[in-house]
């Protein structure tokens, strides 16, 4: 927003005609029973400061609460005597008109409380619950008083300060107190120096500038296609290393030159420091990066920079979709297949991609979803023409994608006990001799709570849902989390008849030890959630690996994403299977995507790359097509299965979670809920109630009912009825998750 627009906004807020008296306030208690507007009088002293979308402090029963002002009116609707607003929280943090209506949209589509929809829009630092409020930081500047009384006698130190300030015109306090703090305050007291406080934003600007690259023909064509079709949602399919980031930046620059703003969503910003750096170095101070690594103060400052129109580009994870930017030209969602764009808990369980589209309608702008492995939902929409399809089929350097070798671990396990095949060991050895680098992926997505045969790789699946059965220790059973199917635990593998069933789960530490045994001088960098939990560690590790301080980068999922190292010529996947066994209908898709992404880390520069995938399921189509870099065949195969089993994108899913302390009571109520859904809905498939993946957490039991449906319209009123029915019931909690990213 430009300064003039902000003025207009304040003016609009103030001038609603005549005497402004009453503010409709939504208080910050997330409960259905108080999720509505309460009226308060605006005292005269606050007339200028109470803004629509702003936050105020109000008395509420015996409490004092914060709330959002949603309306200002010149009359009251009741005879009840209204209480007065106590104070205004922060004039600088105001939800725009657009965000206020977006909040209502989120409420409608997630069935969350409206207040939670507004709370989720603001950085945590700005929320009332946080207790202490983040302060604005000021810098103090000094300049000479123009009506300087030259008759005043000065000490030599004081003269020195005066001369210094005269020469510079204006000096920061830091510089002056190095000379003498006491002299400075004396000069201020004598009115020779004038003091001025100015806001100081906490953010680091970049010194290094990235040069613009000359686009390849493919990239140029992709950019032109996006720019020549305004107000569209695009699916940009680009193989790993095809230069999607460069395409994003070019599109953004185009809109920047038109005076428009952009939002870039990335999966988890702490995992994509390289990408953020590239944006920062190209666009400098025009960019605000919102990520979890920022302190509360930094977040507060970034938000205000955006709100004041001082920033043109916002890059951040899921919640950056709420950036209060005006005049948006394009919204980019990188790695659009990532499940991090869906908020699972707590409610509002929104999908940032849907909100991107909503905002694009509001701003009449475009949305670009980019990925090397688009989600099935997005690709299906592209095929139907709902999204405009753009592709980058080649790598920037013109090289082929690296060849992938699949190693059958069933054979390896029979020969030795370790986790490494001879091929992978040999591959590592060759790279060490040539001083090249290796990335090893330990696939730990999911849980070890499934049973697998160590001999043949067999896992138990639900006959109804094709979902891996989860092991329940307490009852010693295998259960399906979708439909509730249960089976007893077997000793003998039904496939190979060996007695070698077990829970599988390996840690990065064990793998690290095994590499060290084989290559004692090899420098291994272990990257997982344990070693990167400290702030800034992840970035440090990436830099260290980039500087070739290590030979092998060993890690979990996080090594697969968006990294661009030129010396990496071998990528090894130690266990491709674990993610296939997650009890989730997307497990094949997620595995395909993970393998494709990690394979894309190899051979990105001039040197030839190679990929080795170890697996117990060498014939599985997800692994097979990933090894061929064949997204489209995978897509077709997976679509057939989705159609057969009535999963997305053929049907929408909705998960109703029913939780509480009394398992028997819950199950009875869950049955009643299912019956009432059955009675009221037509054409909806209902599964369950079944126990959740983690049935009992902190003595809270969880059941769920799964709905497969084509049209959501009739769902909302029924769900609202159910929610309202249990509103005052403390024994049961109902959570509804539309299009869940996981069903747990
Ligand atoms: P993707 O995100 O599609 O995997 P990137 O955007 O990370 O690919 O690009 C891969 C590499 O190619 C990066 O190192 C990038 O700097 C480089 N690159 C991208 N476009 C060009 C270009 N037009 N000319 C030269 N190098 C490029
Ligand atoms: Zn089932």
Least confident range from 41-55, 176-190, 658-672: namely 176-190
> Is residue 538 a part of any domain in this protein?
yes
Q: How far apart are CA 130 and CA 134, in angstroms?
A: 9
Query: Phi and psi of 382, rounded to 5°?
Result: -65, -40
Place of tokens 């020969």: 415
Q: Is the pLDDT at 88 greater than 60, yes or no?
A: yes
Containing H/E element for 108? helix 97-110
Same domain, 564 and 606: yes
Query: For atom 23 of ligand 1, which residue has the closest CA?
Result: 215
Q: How far apart are CA 294 and CA 547, in angstroms?
A: 25
Q: How far apart are CA 288 and CA 302, in angstroms?
A: 6
> Is residue 293 a part of any domain in this protein?
yes
Model-level pTM? 0.84
**Tokens of residue 310, six digits:** 């001082």
Higher pLDDT, 293 or 583: 583
> Which residues have their alpha-adjacent CB atom under 5 A from ion ligand 2?
462, 464-465, 480, 482-483, 485
> How much is the mean pLDDT over the chain?
86
Higher pLDDT, 140 or 434: 434
Query: For atom 19 of ligand 1, which residue has the closest CA?
Result: 243
Q: Is the pLDDT at 413 greater than 90, yes or no?
A: no
Same domain, 44 and 117: yes
Q: How far apart are CA 511 and CA 424, in angstroms?
A: 13
Q: What is the CATH number of the domain that holds 605?
A: 3.40.50.300
**Tokens of residue 198, six digits:** 């100015």
Same domain, 292 and 324: yes
Cβ–ligand 1 contact at 90 (below 6 Å): no
Same domain, 611 and 731: no
C-alpha torsion 104→105→107→111, nearest 10: 150
Same domain, 192 and 330: no
Same domain, 40 and 142: no
Confidence category of residue 335, pLDDT binned at 50, 70, 90: very high
> Is residue 52 a part of any domain in this protein?
yes
Cβ–ligand 1 contact at 610 (below 6 Å): no
Same domain, 193 and 316: no
Average pLDDT of the segment spanning 359-388: 98
Pairing relation of β-strands 501-503 and 451-453? antiparallel
Same domain, 318 and 414: no
> Is residue 451 a part of any domain in this protein?
no
Which of 595, 620, 642 terminates a domain? The answer is 642
Ligand 2 midpoint to CA 484 (Å): 6
Burial (CB count within 10 angstroms: exposed 0-12, middle 13-18, buried 19+), residue 717 = exposed
> Is residue 498 a part of any domain in this protein?
no
Same domain, 553 and 516: yes
Summarize pLDDT for 516-538 with one digit per residue, the tens: 999 999 999 988 766 776 777 88
pLDDT of residue 130: 44
Burial (CB count within 10 angstroms: exposed 0-12, middle 13-18, buried 19+), residue 521 = exposed
Which of 642, 663, 688 terminates a domain? The answer is 642
Closest among 195, 185, 187 to 162, alpha carbons compared:
187
Closest among 55, 198, 183 to 115, alpha carbons compared:
55
Residues 734, 739, 740: CA angle, nearest 5 degrees: 65
Confidence category of residue 202, pLDDT binned at 50, 70, 90: low
pLDDT of residue 320: 94
Q: What is the CATH number of the domain that holds 705?
A: 3.30.70.600
> Is residue 633 a part of any domain in this protein?
yes
Q: How many CB atoms lie within 10 A of CB 693?
A: 20
- Of all ligands present, the nearest one to the C-alpha of 394 is 1
Summarize pLDDT for 567-585 with one digit per residue, the tens: 999 999 998 887 887 778 9
**Tokens of residue 543, six digits:** 């830099």
Contact 88, 99 (CB under 8 A): no
Q: How far apart are CA 560 and CA 439, in angstroms?
A: 9
Q: How far apart are CA 289 and CA 284, in angstroms?
A: 11
Q: Is the pLDDT at 650 greater than 70, yes or no?
A: yes
Domain region containing 698: 652-738
pLDDT of residue 17: 45
Same domain, 376 and 413: no
**Tokens of residue 660, six digits:** 């509480």
Domains: count for the chain: 5
Contact 709, 715 (CB under 8 A): yes
pLDDT of residue 578: 77
Question: From the alpha carbon of 216, which atom of ligand 1 is closest?
Answer: 23
Residue 623 makes CB contacts below 8 A (sequence gap 6+) with 406, 576, 580, 591, 592, 595, 613, 615, 617
Summarize pLDDT for 140-160 with one digit per residue, the tens: 888 888 877 777 888 888 888
Using the 8-state DSSP alphabet, how is residue 547 labeled? T
Confidence category of residue 1, pLDDT binned at 50, 70, 90: very low
Same domain, 579 and 634: yes
Which of 595, 611, 642 terminates a domain? The answer is 642
Average pLDDT of the segment spanning 308-314: 92
Q: How far apart are CA 372 and CA 391, in angstroms?
A: 10
> Is residue 285 a part of any domain in this protein?
yes
Same domain, 365 and 221: yes
Q: Is the pLDDT at 8 greater than 60, yes or no?
A: no
Q: Is the pLDDT at 22 greater than 70, yes or no?
A: yes
Q: Is the pLDDT at 337 greater than 70, yes or no?
A: yes
Burial (CB count within 10 angstroms: exposed 0-12, middle 13-18, buried 19+), residue 107 = buried
Ligand 1 midpoint to CA 654 (Å): 38
Higher pLDDT, 254 or 566: 254
Ligand 2 midpoint to CA 465 (Å): 4
Closest among 277, 270, 278 to 243, alpha carbons compared:
278
Tell me what percent of the residues of the chain surpass a pLDDT of 70: 89
Confidence category of residue 16, pLDDT binned at 50, 70, 90: very low
Average pLDDT of the segment spanning 628-634: 97
pLDDT of residue 129: 45
Q: Is the pLDDT at 446 greater than 60, yes or no?
A: no
Summarize pLDDT for 122-139 with one digit per residue, the tens: 876 565 444 455 667 778
Q: Is 611 helix (H, G, I), strand (E, B) or coil?
A: strand
C-alpha torsion 659→662→663→664, nearest 10: -130
Q: How far apart are CA 233 and CA 330, in angstroms?
A: 10
Place of tokens 């679509």: 639
> Is residue 157 a part of any domain in this protein?
yes
Q: Is the pLDDT at 697 greater than 70, yes or no?
A: no
Cβ–ligand 1 contact at 273 (below 6 Å): no
């Amino acid at each position: 927003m430009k300064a003039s627009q902000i003025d207009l906004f304040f003016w609009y807020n103030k001038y609603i005609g005549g005497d402004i008296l009453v503010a409709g306030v939504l208080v910050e208690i997330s409960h259905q029973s108080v999720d509505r507007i309460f009226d308060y009088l605006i005292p005269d002293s606050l007339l200028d400061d109470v803004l629509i979308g702003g936050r105020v402090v109000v008395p509420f029963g015996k409490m004092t609460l914060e709330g959002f002002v949603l309306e200002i009116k010149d009359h009251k609707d009741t005879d009840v005597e209204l209480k007065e607003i106590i104070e205004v929280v922060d004039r600088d943090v105001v939800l725009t008109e657009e965000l206020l209506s977006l909040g209502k949209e989120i409420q409608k589509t997630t069935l969350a409380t409206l207040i939670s929809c507004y709370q989720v829009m603001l950085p945590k630092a700005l929320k009332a619950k946080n207790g202490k409020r983040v302060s604005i930081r000021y810098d103090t500047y000094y300049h000479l008083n123009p009506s300087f009384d030259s008759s005043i006698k000065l000490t030599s130190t004081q003269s020195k300060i005066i001369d210094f300030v005269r020469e510079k015109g204006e000096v920061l306090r830091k510089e002056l107190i190095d000379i003498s703090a006491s002299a400075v305050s004396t000069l201020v007291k004598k009115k020779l120096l004038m003091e001025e406080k100015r806001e100081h934003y906490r953010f680091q600007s970049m010194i290094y500038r990235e040069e613009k690259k000359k686009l390849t023909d493919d990239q140029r064509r992709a950019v032109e296609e996006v720019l020549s079709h305004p107000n569209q949602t695009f699916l940009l399919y680009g193989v790993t290393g095809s230069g999607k980031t460069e395409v994003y930046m070019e599109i953004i620059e185009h809109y920047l030159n038109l005076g428009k703003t952009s939002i870039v969503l990335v999966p988890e910003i702490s995992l994509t420091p390289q990408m953020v750096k590239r944006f920062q170095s190209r666009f400098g101070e025009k960019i605000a990066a919102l990520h979890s690594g920022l302190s509360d103060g930094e977040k507060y400052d970034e938000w205000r920079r955006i709100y004041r129109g001082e920033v043109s580009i916002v890059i951040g994870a899921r919640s950056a979709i709420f950036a209060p930017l005006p005049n948006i030209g394009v919204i980019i969602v990188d790695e659009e297949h990532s499940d991090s764009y869906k908020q699972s808990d707590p409610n509002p369980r929104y999908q940032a991609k849907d909100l991107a589209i909503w905002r694009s309608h509001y701003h009449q702008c475009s949305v670009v979803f980019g990925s090397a492995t688009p989600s099935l939902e997005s690709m299906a929409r592209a095929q139907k023409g709902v999204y405009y399809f753009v592709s980058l089929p080649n790598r920037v350097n013109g090289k082929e994608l690296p060849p992938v070798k699949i190693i059958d671990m069933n054979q390896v396990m029979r020969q030795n006990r370790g986790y490494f095949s001879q091929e992978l060991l040999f591959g590592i050895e060759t790279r060490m001799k040539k001083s090249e680098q290796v990335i090893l992926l330990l696939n730990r997505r999911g849980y070890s709570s499934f049973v697998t045969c160590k001999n043949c790789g067999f896992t138990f699946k639900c006959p109804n849902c094709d979902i891996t059965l989860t092991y329940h220790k307490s009852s010693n059973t295998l259960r399906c989390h979708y439909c509730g199917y249960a089976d007893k635990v077997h000793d003998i593998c039904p496939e190979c008849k060996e007695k070698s069933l077990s829970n599988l789960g390996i840690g990065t530490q064990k793998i690290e030890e095994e590499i060290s045994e084989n290559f004692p001088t090899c420098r291994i960098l272990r990257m997982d959630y344990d070693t990167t939990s400290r702030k800034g560690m992840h970035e440090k590790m990436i830099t260290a690996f980039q500087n070739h301080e290590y030979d092998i980068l060993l890690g979990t999922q996080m090594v697969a994403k968006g990294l661009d190292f030129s010396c990496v010529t071998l990528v090894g996947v130690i266990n491709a299977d674990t993610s296939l066994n997650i009890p989730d209908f997307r497990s094949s898709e997620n595995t395909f995507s993970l393998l494709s992404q990690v394979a894309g880390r190899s051979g990105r520069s001039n040197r030839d790359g190679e990929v080795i995938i170890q697996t117990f399921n060498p014939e599985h189509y997800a692994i097979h097509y990933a090894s061929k870099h064949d997204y489209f065949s995978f897509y077709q195969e997976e679509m057939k299965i989705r159609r057969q089993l009535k999963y997305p994108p053929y049907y929408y899913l909705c998960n109703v979670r029913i939780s509480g302390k009394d398992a028997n009571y819950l199950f009875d109520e869950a049955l009643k809920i299912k019956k009432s859904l059955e009675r009221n809905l037509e054409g909806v498939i209902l599964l369950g109630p079944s126990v959740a993946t983690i049935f009992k957490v902190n003595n809270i039991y969880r059941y769920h009912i799964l709905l497969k449906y084509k049209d959501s319209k009739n769902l909302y009123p029924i769900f609202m009825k159910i929610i309202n029915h249990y509103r005052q019931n403390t024994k049961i909690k109902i959570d509804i998750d539309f299009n869940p990213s996981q069903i747990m």
